[in-house]
Amino acid sequence: MMSTYNYFGIRDMKKYSHILELVRGANPLVHQITNYVTVNDCANMTICFGAAPVMSHAPKDVIDLDNIASALVLNIGTLDENQIEGMLAAGETAAKRNIPIILDPVGAGATPYRTQTAERFIDELPITVVKGNAGEIGVLAGVAAEVRGVDSAGIEGDAKDAARSLARECGVTVVMSGAEDIITDGIRTLGVKNGVPLMGSISGTGCMANPCVAAACCVADTVDACATAMSALGIAGEKAAAMCAGPGSFKPAFFDAVYNLTAEEFEASAKIIEY
């Protein structure tokens, strides 16, 4: 195993912190078709991370938006037929412009409707990144996995193998979120060990990661971009948890920590492993 992180110190993190700085310099416009539970949080997190959000799913609107956007996020958390139509129209436009498309298959495996919709998008659109929890990724990879509502209830076998399998089969980069985030394009595999359990105590931290991943993919290699975004949010979660009393105070502290995260803090705290 070749590491960029070990327990005796952190090295080689400048290339990741540089991606964070590139995002803030470029301020990419990230079009998001996301769920109504977390839409405001996703917009605000996009700004805190250094990008610009635009939120719309109307089929007549998304084509024009994706002719100017730098990246597209598709989140299937609260699906309806009109939204699916808008996602397909947006994805086709993004494909023509070759901009990153990030798919969050929220709840894939919980219902056939969600699973089939996620599979349809992967089949019909040139998805850049599929980002989900272990259960969602496992279901899409065809391994035994369990999803309860929108949360993972576990996966059989080796999580890295499942992520690599989906990446190779579908030609995407996979981000499997968890206690250790797994990022792979089927060739390179990175692990990110930043974060705290309190991040799971509020709704939508996974959804909020999507536009950060999308923004980073606009300025860097996809695998490194995903690792940067996931590590930055994990570091911010660690900082926020150290100063809050619980979920209610954690959320605003989390936004502040993302907004105020410096390259120096990132380099000192990032826990990124290359397997």
DSSP 102: E
User: pLDDT tens across 108-125, in order?
Assistant: 988 999 999 999 999 999
pLDDT at site 7: 37
Measured in degrees and rounded to the nearest 5, phi and psi for residue 60 equal -80, -10
Which of 3.40.50.300, 3.40.1190.20, 1.10.3720.10, 3.40.720.10 would CATH assign to domain 5-274?
Answer: 3.40.1190.20
What spatial distance separates the first Cα and last Cα of the chain, rounded to whole Å? 5
Taking the C-alpha atoms of residue 248 and residue 133, their distance in angstroms, rounded to an integer, is 24
pLDDT at site 109: 86
C-beta neighbour count of 170 within 10 angstroms: 18
Task: Give the chain's residues under pLDDT 70.
Answer: 1-11, 144-156
User: pLDDT tens across 245-271, in order?
Assistant: 999 999 999 999 999 999 999 999 999
In degrees to the nearest 10, what's the CA dihedral of 142, 225, 237, 13?
120
Nearest 5°: the CA angle 200, 202, 206 is: 60
pLDDT at site 176: 96
Taking the C-alpha atoms of residue 39 and residue 78, their distance in angstroms, rounded to an integer, is 11
Taking the C-alpha atoms of residue 23 and residue 217, their distance in angstroms, rounded to an integer, is 9
Residue type, 217: C
The domain ranges of the chain are: 5-274
pLDDT at site 11: 56
pLDDT at site 110: 86
